[in-house]
Amino acid sequence: MRWNLRWVAANADIWRPADLHAACRAVGYSPSLGKVASWWNGPPTAVRLDELDMICAALGCRVADLLESEPPGGAESRAAAAPPDAGAPTSD
């Protein structure tokens, strides 16, 4: 799962964890600044659904904007799994 919080925040003209914290408080959600900073610095290992709703309210986005599904291992593993001559004509 890809965590796009900083990209979504940038689209909302939010550039620092303190700004995100203020945006959360503006919609009635008061997480600690430490929690907001942990979301900002990388993908959370767990996030509650109600927290996702409040983050989305603060940023004016959808959950699908914050979380993007990606295959395990990303593009590197897909490229490694493909045969080296995939698509090349065979000489049988």
pLDDT tens-digit readout, 57-74 = 999 999 999 999 988 876
Q: What's the confidence (pLDDT) of residue 36?
A: 95
Q: What's the confidence (pLDDT) of residue 72?
A: 80
pLDDT < 50 stretches in the chain? none
Distance CA 47, CA 52 (A): 7
Q: What's the confidence (pLDDT) of residue 39?
A: 94
CB of 26 within 8 A of CB of 92?
Answer: no
What proportion of the chain, given as a percentage, has pLDDT over 70?
Answer: 79
pTM above 0.75, yes or no: no
